[in-house]
C-alpha cells in the first residue's frame, strides 16, 4: 500500500529576515509534528513605499550582528506536541544552533528557512546529529552562514559615503550606495552607527535602505543607484590620495582581488584607478629599483613575542571566521589588523602592532597607537613611553606579563621630518575605523577592567570625548558595560616639565594604583 501524499503547509513570513516569525512558525509546526517535507516556506515581498517611509526604530531595538551578542535565549519554547507527548513546554537546542540560524536567515537562498526547519526537526529526532559536523545539512548551513558573514565584512569595508549638499550645511547627509549579496542591511547597520555616530548618513541598497539621523535608525525599501549623489570633492581628493599611496612594489593582484572581489569594484571610486595603476606597476617598480635607495636601510630588530600569542604576520585573513579558541581568534585578529586598510595609516606603517599578554588577563591596558620603536618591533610599549610604563609596573609591583597591553589604533601614524618619523595623533575617524579591532580584542580577552592611557584610548573605550585631567584616577563605565580607569598617557609625562616630572609620575602611579586589586588578580 503506497503512503498517502503529505498535505503541504504553506508558511509566509513577514519579510526576508523575519527571524521571530520563523521561530514562532517553526515552534508551532514542531508542536503539531509537521515534518519538514510537508512545509513550504515563503516570504512576503518587502513593503513598497517611499524611501525611509517606515516607522522609526530605536537602534537598541535593532538586532546586532549575528554572533556578536545572541539576542535570544537558546531555547525555542514549544507547546506539548500531539505526535510526541511531552510534559516540557520548551524545546532545547544548542546555543550555537540559534546563532547559526540568526545568520543563515540573512542568506538570500530561498531554501534557507526549509533547511533550518529540517535541521531543527532532525535535532529533535536524531540525537546523533549534534555530534556529526560533517552532516550535509549542517555543512550547507555553515557555508551559508560563512557567506553571510563575508558579505557583512565586505559591506563594512566597501561602503563609501558621498556628501549630499543640502539645507543643513553644519550636518550634511552622507549617502552611500552598496549592493550586498544577502539580506544584511539591518544586521550591519549598528556597526555604522557605532562608527559614524556623529554623522547623518544613509546607505541605499537595491532591497533595503537605512538612515541614521544621529539619534535613531530608520529602515526603508530598496533604492536605485541614481538615488545616491554623484561623486563629490571629497571623493576626488580620496582618488588623488589613493594614487599617491599606491605602491607598485607591494602590488599583489591575486590577494587584492581576494580582499576586494571584482563584484564590488563598480561601487568603489578607487576601483577605476586599479587597472591603470596595476598595468603601470611593473614599469614603476623597475624605475624604483633603478633609482636606488634614498636613505640607508633601517635596521629592524624584531623582539621575540611572548609565547602567549605566536603569529605569522604575513598571512592574509581578510575574510575569516573567528576561531572559537580565544588564543587562535586573537592570532587571527592580529593578522587581520596587519592587512587592514580601512583607514590610510596602515599603508605607511611597517606592520600592525596588536595587543599581547595572557589570553584571559584580568586587566587590559590600552594606549593610543604604536610609536616608532613599536612599529619596527611589532610589539606595544617597547619604546620610550614603554620604558616609563615598565618603570611604573615595577613600582606598582604589577607583573607586566600578567596584563594584556594594547593600543586603540593598531598602526603607527607619523610625519616624516628628514629621516625621522615623528608621531602624529590619529584623527577621530582613524581611531573610529580601528575601534572594531579593539572591541574584538576585548571580546576575546574579556578582562575584568581596562585602563585607558590618554585621550585617544579613553574616547575609544568610553565612546565620548574625555577630559583626561578632569576624569583621571576614576572608574568609568563604557557603553558596553566595561569598567574603565582613565589616566594620562606616559608620553604626556615624558613631554611635561622635567622639574615636575617626579611629582607628575607619583600622581600617575596613584591613578594606576586604583586598579592594583585587578592587576594582581584579586577580586574586583
- The residue ranges that bind ligand URA (CB under 6 A) are 367-371, 374, 380-381, 383, 385-386, 407, 489, 491
- CB 404 → ligand URA: shortest distance, Å? 13
Find all residues with CB under 8 Å of 85, minimum gap 6, and list them: none
Q: Which is nearer to ligand URA, 116 or 455 (by Cβ)?
A: 455
Distances (CA, A) of 5 to 8, 119, 124, 308: 9, 22, 23, 60
CB contact at 8 A, 17 and 47: no
| For ligand URA, the closer CB: 239 or 509 | 509
Q: Least distance (Å) from ligand URA to the CB of residue 313? A: 16
- Cβ distance to ligand URA smaller for residue 407 or 514: 407
Which residue, 115 or 455, is less far from ligand URA as judged by CB?
Answer: 455
CB closer to ligand URA, 91 vs 405: 405
In 372-472, at which residue ranges do the beta strands (DSSP E only) sit? Answer: 404-407, 414-417, 420-423, 449-453
Q: Which is nearer to ligand URA, 104 or 466 (CB)?
A: 466
Burial of 135 (C-beta count, 10 Å sphere; 0-12/13-18/19+): middle
Q: How far is the CB of 378 from ligand URA (least distance, A)?
A: 11
List the Cα angle 78/80/84 in 5-degree steps: 110
154: left (phi over 0), alpha (psi -120 to 50) or beta: alpha
Residue 95 CB-half CA count within 13 A: 7
User: H or E segment at 271?
Assistant: helix 271-291
111 DSSP assignment: T
Look at residues 64, 15, 63, 19 and name the one whose alpha carbon lies nearest to residue 221: 15
Least distance from ligand URA to the Cβ atom of residue 169, Å: 36
CB of 467 vs ligand URA, minimal distance in Å: 19
Closest approach of ligand URA to the CB of residue 488, in Å: 11
| Closest CB to ligand URA among residues 193, 382 | 382
Residue 373 CB, nearest approach to ligand URA (Å): 8
Least gap, CB of 446 to ligand URA (angstroms): 22
**Locate cell 530608520: which residue?**
218
Q: Which is nearer to ligand URA, 145 or 385 (CB)?
A: 385
Least distance in Å: CB of 366 to ligand URA? Answer: 8
Partners of 76 in beta bridges: 91
Q: Which is nearer to ligand URA, 369 or 444 (CB)?
A: 369
- Continuous segment of H or E residues that includes residue 363: strand 363-367
Give residue number: closest CB to ligand URA.
367
Q: At what angle do helices 326-339 and 428-445 cross, to 10 degrees?
A: 160
To ligand URA, the closest distance from the beta carbon of 409 in angstroms equals 8
- Those residues whose C-beta lies under 8 Å from the C-beta of residue 257, and which sit 6 or more positions away, are none
Of 220 and 367, which has the nearer Cβ to ligand URA?
Answer: 367
339 contacts: CB under 8 Å, gap ≥ 6 = 259, 316, 317, 318, 346
What SS3 class is residue 122?
helix
Cβ-based nearer residue to ligand URA, 180 or 380:
380
Contact 125, 147 (CB under 8 A): no
Q: To the nearest whole angstrom, how small is the minimum distance from the Cβ of residue 444 to ligand URA?
A: 19
Amino acid at each position: 500500500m503506497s503512503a498517502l501524499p503529505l498535505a503541504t503547509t504553506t508558511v509566509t513570513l513577514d519579510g526576508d529576515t523575519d527571524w521571530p516569525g520563523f521561530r514562532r512558525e517553526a515552534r508551532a509546526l514542531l508542536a503539531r509534528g509537521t515534518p519538514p517535507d510537508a512545509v513550504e516556506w515563503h516570504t512576503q515581498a518587502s513593503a513598497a513605499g517611499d524611501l525611509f517611509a517606515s516607522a522609526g526604530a530605536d537602534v537598541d531595538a535593532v538586532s546586532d550582528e549575528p554572533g556578536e551578542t545572541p539576542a535570544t535565549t537558546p531555547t525555542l519554547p514549544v507547546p506539548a506536541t500531539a505526535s510526541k507527548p511531552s510534559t516540557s513546554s520548551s524545546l532545547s537546542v544548542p546555543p550555537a544552533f540559534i546563532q547559526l540560524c540568526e545568520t543563515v536567515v540573512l542568506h538570500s537562498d530561498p531554501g534557507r528557512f526549509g533547511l533550518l526547519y529540517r535541521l531543527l526537526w532532525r535535532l529533535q529526532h536524531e540525537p546523533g546529529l549534534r555530534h556529526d559536523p560533517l552532516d550535509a545539512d549542517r555543512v550547507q548551513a555553515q557555508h551559508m552562514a560563512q557567506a553571510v558573514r563575508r558579505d557583512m565584512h565586505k559591506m563594512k569595508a566597501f561602503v563609501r559615503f558621498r556628501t549630499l549638499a543640502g539645507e543643513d550645511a553644519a550636518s550634511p547627509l552622507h549617502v552611500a550606495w552598496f549592493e550586498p549579496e544577502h539580506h544584511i542591511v539591518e544586521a550591519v547597520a549598528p556597526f555604522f552607527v557605532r562608527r559614524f555616530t556623529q554623522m547623518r548618513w544613509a546607505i541605499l541598497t537595491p532591497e533595503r535602505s537605512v538612515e541614521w539621523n544621529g539619534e535613531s535608525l530608520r529602515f526603508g525599501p530598496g533604492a536605485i543607484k541614481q538615488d545616491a549623489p554623484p561623486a563629490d570633492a571629497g571623493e576626488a581628493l580620496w582618488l588623488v590620495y589613493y594614487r599617491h599611496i599606491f605602491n607598485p612594489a607591494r602590488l599583489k593582484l591575486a590577494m587584492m582581488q581576494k580582499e576586494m572581489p571584482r563584484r564590488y569594484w563598480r561601487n568603489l571610486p578607487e576601483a577605476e584607478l586599479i587597472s591603470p595603476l596595476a598595468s603601470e606597476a611593473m614599469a614603476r617598480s623597475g624605475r624604483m629599483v633603478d633609482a636606488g635607495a634614498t636613505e640607508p636601510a633601517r635596521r629592524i630588530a624584531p623582539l621575540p613575542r611572548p609565547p602567549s600569542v605566536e603569529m605569522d604576520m604575513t598571512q592574509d585573513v581578510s575574510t575569516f571566521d573567528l576561531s572559537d579558541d580565544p588564543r587562535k581568534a586573537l592570532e587571527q585578529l592580529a593578522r587581520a589588523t596587519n592587512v587592514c586598510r580601512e583607514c590610510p595609516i596602515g599603508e605607511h606603517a611597517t606592520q600592525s602592532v596588536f595587543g599581547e599578554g595572557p589570553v584571559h588577563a584580568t586587566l587590559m591596558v590600552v594606549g593610543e597607537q604604536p610609536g616608532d620603536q613599536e612599529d619596527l618591533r611589532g610589539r606595544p610599549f617597547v619604546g620610550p613611553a614603554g620604558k616609563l610604563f615598565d618603570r611604573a609596573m615595577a613600582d606598582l609591583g604589577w607583573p607586566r606579563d600578567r596584563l594584556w597591553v594594547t593600543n586603540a589604533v593598531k598602526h603607527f601614524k607619523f610625519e616624516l621630518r628628514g629621516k625621522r618619523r615623528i608621531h602624529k595623533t590619529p584623527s577621530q575617524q582613524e581611531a573610529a575605523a580601528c575601534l572594531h579591532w579593539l572591541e574584538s580584542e576585548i571580546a576575546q580577552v574579556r578582562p575584568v577592567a581596562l585602563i585607558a592611557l590618554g585621550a585617544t584610548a579613553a574616547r575609544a573605550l568610553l565612546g565620548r570625548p574625555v577630559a583626561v585631567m578632569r576624569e583621571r584616577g576614576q572608574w568609568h563605565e563604557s557603553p558596553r558595560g566595561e569598567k574603565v580607569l582613565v589616566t594620562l598617557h606616559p608620553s604626556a609625562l615624558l613631554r611635561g616639565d622635567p622639574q615636575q616630572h617626579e611629582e607628575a609620575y607619583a600622581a600617575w602611579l596613584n591613578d594606576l594604583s586604583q586598579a592594583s586589586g585587578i592587576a594582581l588578580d584579586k577580586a574586583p
